[in-house]
């Protein structure tokens, strides 16, 4: 069938018309026949079974009943609110049908005392069964329609339901599309791939996704369509990566010279772990070619990313280039600056810090030195992105904790020079491989999957608030051994005032339980001035205080090796990745460290899973996988990037295996035919081009 027919505007489909067409466009993004075809059910229900009203017993699933409406009335509830109530009976009992909207439409179209098949969820209130906004079909029509034990249920919206575009209506439209197109659709995947993976053809897949003939065929249809979706995404990502490697020039760092070697031979404070060595090699290889590096460095908290960053920057310097390292917060930028200055002392290189609080005079010097090239390495916050900051020759840009920076910011750095700098994005939030593959397919990925030797795994326990006395006793013992303690309170923006009160109450009661002069306490929170925050952090870092009470401002990067206990208050209110980040503040020294998750007794199921996961494992990747399952990918990556994950049918969590397969096949195909120009790939290529035009969502940097 011709492609053009599929491009027909949806209002021309029989039974749609301008008004419904508008609705479909607005509510579901369905503009053309093609969009309707690709609008997939999100589940299937058994419509071969009919219930009798007397059989209803708190059945939570949806049921189908045959009966008649014998009475219709409007009932007021609350001020000005009305609901339309119908009494529905079969021979065995009666049931209330309720509508809260769309009354006129119902009144006009509903026939009294005529057999209907109703479908919906039944609720039981004080022994009275009712169904809200049921799907209704005249029994006579119902008998003529196709029924299968797997009837598709399409996603819907309130507006659609109120305007009478029910599931049944969508189903009818779908039948109409198949009728008009004769159900014949262009095959989008190469024949040999279909054979190799025993996939059903496109036409069969589309038919069975909408009108499953059997559970087996439905499964095949789902597999085929999921594979296809993921396969084309992978083709795009891999192609983009290949193009970048071939076309986007970078500065070739051909030498590993004096600075690097001097550091490696004379100033390395410890032996690098194998993982650090491996990653460093990957970075060196990337920067050594004349393609631009675009690499994501994943490493759990404490895995030692900082020294890798420094060594990469030394290579840049050996090749006559400047580097910058950008961190999301001032505290972190400060820490990086201190850490790197310490590591690089004796190297005789010029490293400076630029943040929002850098004084004007110092700032001027920095701007000058950056422009004349005498400043080798600049560490900073967003301040680095200002237009005034111009480099002599920026060769390497390192971004720490990437998920806090948006795409635009990355590209801003990119634009600072004619030939873009190599980019290294460092993150301590492990992203599950599947997600990384879909999101960052255009980045190469390095992983530090090993912690420096001698670290003892942090012991994590969950305690209820009622056990606080025991916990306090434990803290006192640890302090007596010379250790330091973090106590963290949640800070959630919507209830900032309440959280602030929690924090202050906590501070007061802890001050009472750990009184001066025996104990001393620091506190940092978001409402403090940066200078005060830093001063408090510094007191704690220098061991002048025993306890640090904080909100999550300490989440990222803070390094106090002598701190061995992390207490997280109201731990049920934190997300998994945040809990893991917070825990990563301890276990940085040689001592056994502990993380204590304090909660009330009231815990949701998800909270329980989060707490259990934390107690069970220290592995950031394992935790990230659980997090992905609990929250779904959109949430994890934040709004900004979640658009990327607008998948039609595949699910990154559930369809991991298919994703891996799709990636594997896409690579294989592109290896054989990088430009998709072989005759057998002609359709593939045109579909690919169409898709790329439409979903131009892979532009992170370019
Ligand atoms: P992160 O990956 O969280 O940024 P850091 O780079 O801050 O980790 O390193 C955490 C701590 O581990 C630092 O105190 C650092 O000096 C130390 N460290 C890093 N690499 C090694 C190593 N190979 N051997 C021993 N200690 C190391
Ligand atoms: Mg770090």
User: Which of these, 10, 41, 29, 14, lies nearest to 208 by C-alpha position?
Assistant: 41
Cis omega (within 30 of 0) on the bond before 557? no
Under DSSP, the state recorded for 147 is -
User: Which tokens is 569 given?
Assistant: 């208050």
CA 560 and chain centroid, separation: 30
Separation of CA 498 and ligand 2 centre (Å):
31
Dist. CA 609–CA 393, nearest whole Å: 49
Q: Which residues contact 419 (CB under 8 A, 6 or more apart)?
A: 249, 250, 251, 292
Separation of CA 620 and ligand 2 centre (Å):
14
- For residue range 449-458, what is the model confidence (pLDDT) as tens digits? 888 888 888 9
Dist. CA 539–CA 50, nearest whole Å: 72
Supply the DSSP string of 248-262, one letter for each residue.
Answer: SB--------HHHHH
Nearest protein CA to atom 18 of ligand 1, as residue: 304
List the beta bridge partners of residue 326: 380, 399
| Cβ 276 under 6 angstroms from ligand 1 | yes
User: Which of these, 297, 255, 237, 246, lies nearest to 423 by C-alpha position?
Assistant: 297
Given this model, what pLDDT does residue 642 score?
A: 38
What is the pLDDT confidence band of residue 274, given thresholds at 50, 70 and 90?
Answer: very high
The H-or-E segment that residue 669 falls in is: helix 656-672
Dist. CA 327–CA 380, nearest whole Å: 6
Give the up-direction half-sphere exposure of residue 167: CA atoms within 13 A in the CB hemisphere.
21
- Best of 271, 273, 280, 302 for a ligand 1 pocket test (most atoms within 8 Å of beta carbon): 302
Q: Is the pTM of this model over 0.75?
A: no
Dist. CA 300–CA 298, nearest whole Å: 7
User: Which tokens is 197 given?
Assistant: 């993976």
- Best of 273, 275, 302, 304 for a ligand 1 pocket test (most atoms within 8 Å of beta carbon): 304
The helix-helix angle for 576-583 and 605-616 (nearest 10°) equals 30
Residue 640 predicted with pLDDT over 50: no
Separation of CA 363 and ligand 2 centre (Å):
25
Residue 685 predicted with pLDDT over 50: yes
Nearest protein CA to atom 17 of ligand 1, as residue: 304
Given this model, what pLDDT does residue 146 score?
A: 63
Alpha helix positions (H), 492-575: 496-513, 530-541
As a residue count, the chain comes to 702
User: Which tokens is 109 given?
Assistant: 């179209």
Given this model, what pLDDT does residue 502 score?
A: 80
Determine the Cα angle at 129 with ends 127 and 132, to 5°.
Answer: 140
Lowest-confidence segment of 209-223, 338-352, 431-445, 577-591 by average pLDDT: 431-445
Do residues 301 and 584 touch, judged by C-beta distance below 8 A? yes
User: Which of these, 251, 199, 257, lies nearest to 229 by C-alpha position?
Assistant: 199
Q: What three-state secondary structure class fits 154? A: coil
Instruction: Determine the average pLDDT of the residues in 120-142.
Output: 87
- For residue range 226-238, what is the model confidence (pLDDT) as tens digits? 999 999 988 988 8
Residue 471 predicted with pLDDT over 50: yes
Do residues 565 and 460 touch, judged by C-beta distance below 8 A? no
Dist. CA 23–CA 407, nearest whole Å: 33
Burial class (CB in 10 A: 0-12, 13-18, 19+), 338: middle
What is the pLDDT confidence band of residue 12, given thresholds at 50, 70 and 90?
Answer: very high
Given this model, what pLDDT does residue 148 score?
A: 66
Separation of CA 304 and ligand 1 centre (Å):
3
Q: What three-state secondary structure class fits 140? A: helix
Do residues 325 and 398 touch, judged by C-beta distance below 8 A? yes
Nearest protein CA to atom 15 of ligand 1, as residue: 304
What is the pLDDT confidence band of residue 638, given thresholds at 50, 70 and 90?
Answer: very low
- For residue range 511-521, what is the model confidence (pLDDT) as tens digits? 999 998 999 99
Given this model, what pLDDT does residue 493 score?
A: 54
Given this model, what pLDDT does residue 219 score?
A: 94
- For residue range 559-610, what is the model confidence (pLDDT) as tens digits? 788 999 999 999 998 888 889 988 988 988 878 999 999 999 989 999 999 9
pLDDT above 70 covers a percentage of the chain that reads: 89
Instruction: Determine the average pLDDT of the residues in 478-503.
Output: 81
Dist. CA 600–CA 462, nearest whole Å: 10
Under DSSP, the state recorded for 299 is E
């Amino acid at each position: 069938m011709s492609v053009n027919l599929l491009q027909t505007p949806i209002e021309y489909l029989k039974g749609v018309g301008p008004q419904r067409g508008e609705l479909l466009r607005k509510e579901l993004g369905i503009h053309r026949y093609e969009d309707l075809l690709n609008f997939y059910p999100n589940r299937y229900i058994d419509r071969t079974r009919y219930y009798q009203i007397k059989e209803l017993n708190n059945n939570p699933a949806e049921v189908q009943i045959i009966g008649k409406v014998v009475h219709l009335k409007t009932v007021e509830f609350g001020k000005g609110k009305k609901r339309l109530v119908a009494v529905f009976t079969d021979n065995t009992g009666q049931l209330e049908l309720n509508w809260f909207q769309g009354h006129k439409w119902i009144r006009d179209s509903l026939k009294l005392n005529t057999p209907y098949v109703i479908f919906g969820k039944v609720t039981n209130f004080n022994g009275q069964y009712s169904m809200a906004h049921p799907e209704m079909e005249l029994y006579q029509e119902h008998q003529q329609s196709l029924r299968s034990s797997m009837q598709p249920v399409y996603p819907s919206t309130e507006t659609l339901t109120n305007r009478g575009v029910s599931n049944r209506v969508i189903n009818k439209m779908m039948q109409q599309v198949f009728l008009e197109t004769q159900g014949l659709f262009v095959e989008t995947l190469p024949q040999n791939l279909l054979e190799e993976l025993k996939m059903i053809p496109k036409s069969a897949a589309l038919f069975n996704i909408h009108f499953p003939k059997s559970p087996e065929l439905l499964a095949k249809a789902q597999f085929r369509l999921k594979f296809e979706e993921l396969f084309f995404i992978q083709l795009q990502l891999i192609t983009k990566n290949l193009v970048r490697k071939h076309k986007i020039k970078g500065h070739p760092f051909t030498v590993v010279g004096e600075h690097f070697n001097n550091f490696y031979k004379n100033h390395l404070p410890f032996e690098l772990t194998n993982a650090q060595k491996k990653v460093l090699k990957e970075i060196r290889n990337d920067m050594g070619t004349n393609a631009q590096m675009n690499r994501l460095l994943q490493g759990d908290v404490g895995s030692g990313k900082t020294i890798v960053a420094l060594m990469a920057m030394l290579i840049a310097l050996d090749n006559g280039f400047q580097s910058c390292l950008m961190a999301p917060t001032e505290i972190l930028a400060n820490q990086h600056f201190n850490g790197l200055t310490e590591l690089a002392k004796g190297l005789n290189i010029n490293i400076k810090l630029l943040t929002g609080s850098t004084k004007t005079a110092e700032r001027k010097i920095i701007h000058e030195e950056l422009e004349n090239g005498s400043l080798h390495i600049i560490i900073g916050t967003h301040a680095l992105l200002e237009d005034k900051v111009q480099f002599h020759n920026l060769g390497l840009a390192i971004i720490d904790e990437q998920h806090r920076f948006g795409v635009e910011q990355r590209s801003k750095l990119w634009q600072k020079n004619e030939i873009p700098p190599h980019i290294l994005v460092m993150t301590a939030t492990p992203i599950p491989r599947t997600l990384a593959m879909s999101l960052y397919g255009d980045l190469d990925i390095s992983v530090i999957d090993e912690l420096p030797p001698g670290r003892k795994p942090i012991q994590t326990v969950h305690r209820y608030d009622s056990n606080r006395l025991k916990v306090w006793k434990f803290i006192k013992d640890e302090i007596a051994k010379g250790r330091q303690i973090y106590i963290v309170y949640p800070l959630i923006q919507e209830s900032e005032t309440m959280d602030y009160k929690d924090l202050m109450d906590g501070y007061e009661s802890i001050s009472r339980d750990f009184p001066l002069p025996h104990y001393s306490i620091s506190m940092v929170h978001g409402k403090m001035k940066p200078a005060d925050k830093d001063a408090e952090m510094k007191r704690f870092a220098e061991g002048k205080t025993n306890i640090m009470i904080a909100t999550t401002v300490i989440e990222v990067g803070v390094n106090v090796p002598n701190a061995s206990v992390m207490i997280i208050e109201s731990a049920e209110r934190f997300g998994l990745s945040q809990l893991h980040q917070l825990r990563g503040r301890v276990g940085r020294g040689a001592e056994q460290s502990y993380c204590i998750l304090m909660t009330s007794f009231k815990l949701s199921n998800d909270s329980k899973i989060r707490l259990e996961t934390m107690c069970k494992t220290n592995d950031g990747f394992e935790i990230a996988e659980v997090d992905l399952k609990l929250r779904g990918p959109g949430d994890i990556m934040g709004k900004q990037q979640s658009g990327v994950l607008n998948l039609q049918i595949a699910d990154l969590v559930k369809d991991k295996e298919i994703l891996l397969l799709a990636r594997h096949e896409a690579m294989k195909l592109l290896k054989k035919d990088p430009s998709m120009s072989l005759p057998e790939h002609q359709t593939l290529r045109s579909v690919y081009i169409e898709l790329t035009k439409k979903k131009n969502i892979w532009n992170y940097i370019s």
